[in-house]
Amino acid sequence: MTNNYRYIIFYKPYGVLSQFTKDTPTRSTLKDYIQVPDVYAVGRLDWDSEGLLLLTNHGQLQHRLSHPRFEHERTYWVQVERIPDPVALGKLQAGVEIQNYRTRQASVKILLEEPSLPDRDPPIRFRKNVPTAWLEITLTEGKNRQVRRMTAAVGFPTLRLVRVSIAHLQLDGLQPGQWRDLNPNELKLLHDLAFVRK
């Protein structure tokens, strides 16, 4: 592990693109928050999703963590419209068909209390007569807009989506828009995940 590499955890706010180049004048990018040269996101979070984004300038590690074969866990807190029933939860856990693809098995549970998260700006649309629920969903794959497509496929559209962990990495007190370098223990576990585990 050389000191020339940077490994950053960023709490991506809602409405920020997971890239440094601007493709529209109205949307923020990572460049508005992170002034570290030559780092790039490992994977991505959609502009309308929030939470943990890992960035590095270590190309080989970025490639390995992004490759589907490595199957590292990503955990999301997902606010959905209405309260999913056991049948819907079972389908999410077993895998659902989205765009001619069947998702892998996932860990899915209803959170009994609303998670403690910073307010979203802008807030989700609120409908007085429609209840919402929070799910914790852990995937080992990262297809485009996968969580949103999964919950929609079982009839419970996603209202808010926050990634809270990637493997062992967690937001740990960061607020939206803040970032920090990985600590030595996090970095060792990350290297073990990418280069030691098969």
The CATH code belonging to domain 73-166 is: 3.30.70.1560
Domain spans of the chain?
7-68+172-196, 73-166
For residue range 41-53, list pLDDT tens digits in order.
Answer: 988 899 999 999 9
Examine domains 7-68+172-196 and 73-166 and report if their fold is the same: yes
pLDDT band at 197 (very low <50, low <70, confident <90, very high): low
CATH class, range 7-68+172-196? alpha beta
**Interatomic CA distance for residues 195 and 60, integer angstroms:** 9
Percent residues over pLDDT 90 in the chain: 69
- Which is the catalytic residue, given 32, 46, 119, 181? 46
**Interatomic CA distance for residues 29 and 37, integer angstroms:** 14
Q: Is the pLDDT of residue 144 over 90?
A: no
Determine whether 46 is an active site residue. Answer: yes
pTM for the model: 0.92
For residue range 56-100, list pLDDT tens digits in order.
Answer: 999 888 888 877 677 789 999 999 999 999 999 999 999 999 988
